């Protein structure tokens, strides 16, 4: 693999942004410095396909967060209880994600700062400490869901107890370290490989489920029943609330800088275009997988009298008998294991980016990754040892509440930065896009607030 030496950021004047770039030799010169500008990009004379392929990767790493084990539960419940009706919500939430992730890529490429660094540059120290603590809570919450998903998959496939499965997931930190030492492209290739396994597993299950095409297509058309049916609305809010993971916005703004594109205005504009295509296509894959989970649940459970299926273990146990295909349950568990592994890897990387961005903390990469992974594993181990499987389910619920609390701390600064001409210069987003972005931010914040309120103060 051909690697190029890191390209230092240009000065503020040559980048046409208002951000102060760190100078060469400063401790925070680049985001994710061990991988910064390490992936070669063909020059302008190369074909569009070669140039596009050079930018493929970060979008797929980000898409992992949109199909992690935390999303599976809401998709399963939606399909089992209400058939194909909530497919329109999955599509709507995916469109929101496409917009926000494109803004994150724009921020990273245009300014040379990831979202954590941009917050540190803009806000006073007290606010940054609050934002950092909120981010760390979000990382731990994300990792909790992912560690639990990995542990459940290992239990379903190999009969490994949940506690042992949670401990095994710590190996992901060493896997990240190994792949990063080989080159960032190796890490991207590993992630894309696992995503392909997930997509293949669900493609087979969708074919086996044989959903009626007319009902499936009708599900993508929004229905007034979603608003009038309180139970359906609650799950719809859960689907949207689980869509945008806070750590994805920090992650994407950093890893798009791994490409060695020219740090000039035309070079950055070209990189923004290709990175947007990369994330958009990757999130369409996430749309397929989330929709496939709901479709399989609708076809296998909603129409066969199993509308109460809500747990991953129940879905695993029932899939093969209901679909009449012995391998269906195994494919489900394999896909869950791949999703959990992928999510823990990207969550570990996001933890590193947030810690470095907010604190300028410089500790060995292996120690930093073990620290971020340990913060998630310790609660799972303690709760599993004390309360057993029931406690893990409660912990998973608590993790989603924490994520709901943290979302505004990531979405609002991102939209604020990219719509500020003084900071973004020539790369500022258009007024219509800014209005759409603020609307999306408002919808996500309001719906997550309602979900949080209903979780903390359930109706009698």
Query: Residue 12 pLDDT > 50, yes or no?
Result: no
User: What DSSP character marks residue 256?
Assistant: G
Query: Residue 30 pLDDT > 60, yes or no?
Result: yes
Average pLDDT of every residue of the chain: 82
Using DSSP's 3-state secondary structure scheme, residue 178 falls into helix
Query: Would you state the pLDDT for residue 283?
Result: 94
Query: Would you state the pLDDT for residue 316?
Result: 85
Pairwise CA distance, residues 369 & 32, whole Å? 13
Per-residue model confidence as pLDDT tens digits over 178-217: 888 888 999 999 999 999 999 999 999 999 888 999 999 9
With bands split at pLDDT 50, 70 and 90, how would you rate the model's confidence at 2? very low
Pairwise CA distance, residues 83 & 300, whole Å? 10
Pairwise CA distance, residues 404 & 398, whole Å? 10
Mean pLDDT for the stretch of residues 18-35: 62
By C-alpha distance, which of 305, 304, 336, 300 is closest to 319?
300
Using DSSP's 3-state secondary structure scheme, residue 116 falls into helix
User: What DSSP character marks residue 429?
Assistant: P
CA atoms within 13 A on the CB side of 237: 22
Paired strand residues for 39: 259
459 compared with 65, residue with greater pLDDT: 65
Lookup result for tokens 């999303």: 71
Query: Would you state the pLDDT for residue 132?
Result: 87
Mean pLDDT for the stretch of residues 43-50: 88
Query: Would you state the pLDDT for residue 401?
Result: 63
Per-residue model confidence as pLDDT tens digits over 111-121: 999 999 999 99
Mean pLDDT for the stretch of residues 352-374: 75
Mean pLDDT for the stretch of residues 356-360: 85
Mean pLDDT for the stretch of residues 127-152: 81
Decide: 69 and 343 in contact? Cβ < 8 Å.
Answer: yes
Which domains are present in the chain?
A: 35-456 (1.20.1740.10)
User: What DSSP character marks residue 263?
Assistant: S
User: What DSSP character marks residue 311?
Assistant: S
Within 8 A by CB and 6+ apart from 161, the residues are 155
Within 8 A by CB and 6+ apart from 400, the residues are 70, 141, 145, 238, 241, 242, 455
Query: Would you state the pLDDT for residue 350?
Result: 85
Using DSSP's 3-state secondary structure scheme, residue 39 falls into strand
With bands split at pLDDT 50, 70 and 90, how would you rate the model's confidence at 102? very high
Query: Residue 40 pLDDT > 50, yes or no?
Result: yes
CA distances from 160 to 121, 157, 171 (A): 46, 8, 15
Per-residue model confidence as pLDDT tens digits over 224-261: 888 788 788 878 877 776 667 778 899 999 999 999 99
Query: Residue 16 pLDDT > 60, yes or no?
Result: no
Backbone angle region of 267, left / alpha / beta, with phi > 0 → left and psi within -120 to 50 → alpha: alpha
Query: Residue 19 pLDDT > 80, yes or no?
Result: no
Query: Residue 402 pLDDT > 60, yes or no?
Result: yes
Pairwise CA distance, residues 393 & 413, whole Å? 32
Query: Residue 140 pLDDT > 90, yes or no?
Result: no
With bands split at pLDDT 50, 70 and 90, how would you rate the model's confidence at 372? low
Burial of residue 265 (number of CB atoms within 10 Å: 0-12, 13-18, 19+): middle
CA distances from 207 to 314, 326, 340, 358 (A): 21, 14, 24, 47
Pairwise CA distance, residues 434 & 420, whole Å? 10
| Element at 258 (helix H, strand E) | none
Query: Residue 72 pLDDT > 90, yes or no?
Result: no
Using DSSP's 3-state secondary structure scheme, residue 259 falls into strand
Most confidently modeled range among 131-145, 274-288, 316-330, 377-391: 274-288
For the chain, what is the largest distance between any 2 Cα atoms, rounded to a whole number of angstroms?
66
By C-alpha distance, which of 152, 448, 142, 84 is closest to 311?
152
Query: Residue 362 pLDDT > 60, yes or no?
Result: yes
With bands split at pLDDT 50, 70 and 90, how would you rate the model's confidence at 167? confident
With bands split at pLDDT 50, 70 and 90, how would you rate the model's confidence at 310? low
């Amino acid at each position: 693999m051909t690697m190029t030496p890191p390209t230092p950021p240009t000065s503020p004047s040559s980048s046409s942004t208002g951000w102060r770039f760190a100078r060469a030799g400063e401790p925070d010169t680049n985001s994710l410095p061990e991988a910064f500008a390490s992936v070669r990009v063909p020059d302008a004379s190369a074909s569009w396909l070669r140039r596009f392929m050079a930018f493929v990767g970060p979008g797929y790493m980000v898409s992992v967060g949109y199909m992690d084990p935390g999303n599976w539960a809401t998709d399963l419940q939606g399909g089992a209880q209400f058939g194909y009706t909530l497919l329109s919500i999955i599509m709507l939430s995916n469109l929101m994600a496409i917009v926000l992730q494109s803004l994150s890529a724009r921020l990273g490429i245009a300014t040379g700062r990831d979202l954590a660094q941009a917050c540190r540059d803009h806000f006073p120290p007290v606010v940054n400490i609050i934002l950092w603590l909120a981010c760390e809570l979000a990382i731990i919450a994300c990792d909790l869901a992912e560690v639990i998903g990995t542990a459940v998959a290992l239990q379903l496939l190999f009969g490994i107890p949940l506690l042992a499965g949670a401990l095994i997931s710590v190996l992901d930190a060493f896997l990240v370290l190994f792949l990063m030492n080989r080159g960032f492209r190796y890490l991207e290739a590993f992630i894309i490989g696992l995503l392909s396994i997930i997509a293949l597993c669900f493609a087979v299950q969708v074919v086996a489920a044989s959903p009626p095409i007319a009902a499936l297509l009708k599900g993508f058309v929004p229905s007034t029943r979603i608003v009038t049916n309180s139970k359906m609305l609650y799950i719809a809010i859960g689907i949207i609330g689980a869509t945008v993971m806070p750590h994805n916005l920090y992650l994407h703004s950093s890893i798009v800088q791994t490409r060695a594109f020219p740090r000039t205005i035309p070079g950055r504009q070209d990189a923004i275009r290709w990175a947007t295509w990369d994330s958009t296509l990757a999130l369409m894959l996430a749309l397929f997988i989330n929709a496939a989970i709901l479709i399989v649940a609708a076809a296998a459970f909603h129409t066969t009298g199993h509308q109460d299926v809500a747990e991953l273990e129940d879905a695993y146990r029932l899939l093969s008998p209901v679909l009449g295909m012995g391998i269906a349950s195994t494919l489900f568990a394999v896909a869950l294991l791949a999703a959990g592994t992928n999510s823990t890897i990207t969550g570990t990387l996001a933890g590193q980016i947030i810690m470095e961005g907010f604190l300028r903390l410089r500790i060995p990469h292996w120690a930093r990754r073990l620290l971020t992974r340990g913060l998630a594993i310790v609660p799972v181990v303690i709760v599993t040892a004390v309360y057993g499987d029931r406690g893990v389910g409660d912990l998973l619920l608590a993790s989603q509440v924490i994520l709901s609390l943290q979302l505004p701390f990531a979405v609002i600064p991102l939209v604020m930065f990219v719509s500020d001409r003084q900071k973004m210069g020539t790369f500022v987003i258009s007024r219509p896009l800014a209005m759409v972005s603020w609307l999306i931010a408002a919808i996500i914040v309001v719906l997550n607030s309602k979900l949080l309120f209903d979780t903390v103060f359930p109706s009698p």
